[in-house]
Structure 1
């Protein structure tokens, strides 16, 4: 079916029981929604919108109070949707900061939500009063941070950060931290859109006063927390762990044969650097002090999907480990040779041929761990796009389905959702291969 034009595929699958994505496309262009409850806390440029996750969960015939898993939990979109529908949830996320955010959304608040609002009001009053003292220390900030904000804005941001770091938000520190981190791009005076920051290009900040915007975000959090029934805040039933879903140890808290379904969106094979995407927030908070530290503590732990993560040694090792998958391993190796040839012709091309085996070897390990965690008959929905580096078409969803079959997951549906790459349609130097985002329905 993937040989058909995308429009024809959509016609063929129009009557499938799985829903197409919402016509509004909310939150689809750059990851999670900026409007939906909990999604709006921080718009991470990955995953899908919670309104679509809810549609998917409703179609999977999973009994209420069953356990849903997500090996690429991101900012917790599947988790919050599962909670709203009275499911238990277990997620694994490799990015330490984003795993922290996802866990924060699912945990029980430390008290009455009105306390969060009162704590924020106190932080704003003190930050407004003490911003002058914070200005003396701006020289200690990372260069990226200094370049992104007007000095008067940065002093207020730093003042808030220092107060929160010093514990002035009390038990609500995590919420205040993420309200502040979500404010950064709203008040930046340079282009800081997803996925890359470009501090050399100025822009008018969307919001002029970071304290006002911070308080607005706190109000969103309070509203969203109040919308959740207190009985849904069960720490034993709603969990996100920071870990590597290729490693069976990360699945150990879950156990074998206990999960009743999975809804997830793995990293796409499209050279998007999820670690670099959060550089501004991690530099500002002081969790990362250099690019080398970012690569060592964040990027190195994440599934290889970019040429920045690739190496000759890792690619060779991955190709060796893929041999257990038989014919699909041969298909991956043939694609690798095509990519290697294309790179050689360009002389300075990116090493997509190194990424390919490492990416699929990692996906194979995730699928193997997932299969072990699922109950017999459990459905698995993965949303993933194909790609065409240097015009070499890589049917990523199709290859994933073949890998899944090798570990006991049967393909039931392969549904195209939308065209991809239209943003660069007028770029004459780019390939003209038609790409799509697809939905895979697998079953244990």
Structure 2
């Protein structure tokens, strides 16, 4: 196959999904707006640009909610994704799988769920809200929370049948819409009250489920097993892309290209960002559980994940990367000095080596998966903790080249951090989001 691209495409002028994560309007992306990655319209543009054949398999080691996966699916490309966040991996798997029936069945299941919920609410036998975490109780009015918990308990009990997973996500996506506290990305602030974007829980759930049903019907022709091309596969696994075992379920042919957006080195906590959903569904009930069950498997990109031992181990791991390791060590030293000079400095000096050591592991697994001349596109931004500039895309490209991936292009897509320009406590270093094109040697 011919994988030789021309000029890389510019980002869509709409900018959809660029400010706070995935798009709130694109099909499948709109199921739940996870604050990471890019919008599927741009993912599709990049995939088309790579020129993979219909027999090609696209891999995404940071698959998130399957933005690249759904875009690949619509283009007739096979897909293999890896995602370490268990709740988000579940969502990605749901988007990619063959639905049990047409979308009308999902809407009907939603109506049955709502009717069952109304009967319970009509009896005044409300659920025990004292069992809910403080965060959940503080984010909703009592009446709203009673409705949400009643519907959740019915879904948990199997009231929705074969559509339970879809209605679970319809309800989870409704939470922030009906919250009476500030729960915008990335952090929940239950102490700051607001007027809910949508006051009616039932109607908003209906709207959410209707969107999901529309997307399932509109794109059903792209899904297996209705397709006749038997080579086609589309899956997302919950795993750690640093671990070679997470790549083991790939077809024996390996991948033919990669489109991915690694976590940014910007102190964004992807686990904490979903704390409301995790707590509400009961996957975790405390901060320590969230750290142990969700955050612990993620690549270190925040100071909350960092540790002295982890930084030391990462520094030793990076020693094989020569000049790149020296650059990382220099940055680490500068950040350590800056932290020491501050009364309550953050441990960026521990994050940096752990982050790049983890990325190097993923890049090596990616290189081992791609055949010669196969392309890989990474969307990644730089950062400047305490005003110390870290050229993350360039350092990643250096690590990639030592793993067997040649750097072809490094293109600035847009400037970042402009909305913080008036913050006098923030640095004034100009940041950008970049597109890095690599190719297997």
TM-score (norm 2): 0.95
Shift of 1:231: 5.3
Q: Distance in 2 between matches of 1:134 and 1:116?
A: 27
Residue in 1 that maps onto 2:171: 180
Shift of 1:54: 0.8
Relative distance call for 1:134 and 1:397 in structure 2 (3 A) is farther
Q: Which residue among 262, 282, 288 is the counterpart of 1:286? A: 282
- State whether structure 2 residue 431 is matched by structure 1 residue 416: no
Residue in 2 that maps onto 1:305: 301
Shift of 1:75: 0.4
Q: Distance in 2 between matches of 1:224 and 1:48?
A: 19
Residue in 1 that maps onto 2:400: 404
Shift of 1:227: 1.1
Q: Which moved more, 1:250-259 or 1:279-288?
A: 250-259
Residue in 2 that maps onto 1:206: 197
- State whether structure 2 residue 64 is matched by structure 1 residue 74: yes
Q: Distance in 1 between matches of 2:104 and 2:68?
A: 27
Shift of 1:258: 1.6
Residue in 1 that maps onto 2:187: 196
Q: Which runs of 4+ in 1 moved over 3 A?
A: none
Shift of 1:234: 4.6
Q: Distance in 1 between matches of 2:197 and 2:258?
A: 37
Q: Distance in 1 between matches of 2:418 and 2:282?
A: 37
Shift of 1:91: 0.1
Q: Which residue among 114, 118, 124 is the counterpart of 2:108? A: 118
Counterpart secondary structure, 1:44: coil
Counterpart secondary structure, 2:341: helix
Q: Which residue among 21, 25, 43 is the counterpart of 2:15? A: 25
Q: Distance in 2 between matches of 1:429 and 1:299?
A: 28
Residue in 2 that maps onto 1:59: 49
Deviations 1:286-306 (A, max 9, x none): 111111000000000101000
Q: Distance in 2 between matches of 1:194 and 1:402?
A: 32
- State whether structure 2 residue 97 is matched by structure 1 residue 107: yes
* Superposition CA RMSD, Å: 1.4
Residue in 1 that maps onto 2:229: none
Task: Summarize the alignment of residues 200-279 of structure 1 with structure 2, pairs less than 5 Å apart.
Answer: 200-230=191-221, 232-234=223-225, 237-254=233-250, 258-279=254-275
Task: Summarize the alignment of residues 265-414 of structure 1 with structure 2, pairs less than 5 Å apart.
Answer: 265-414=261-410
- State whether structure 2 residue 37 is matched by structure 1 residue 47: yes
Q: Distance in 2 between matches of 1:234 and 1:369?
A: 30
Q: Distance in 1 between matches of 2:176 and 2:119?
A: 23
Shift of 1:65: 3.1
Q: Distance in 1 between matches of 2:124 and 2:395?
A: 57
Deviations 1:107-158 (A, max 9, x none): 0011232211111001111112212556341111111111000111111101
Contact residue 380 and residue 435 of structure 2 kept, 8 A = yes
Q: Distance in 1 between matches of 2:124 and 2:205?
A: 20
Contact residue 127 and residue 150 of structure 2 kept, 8 A = no
Q: How many residues are matched? A: 430
Q: Distance in 2 between matches of 1:264 and 1:135?
A: 45
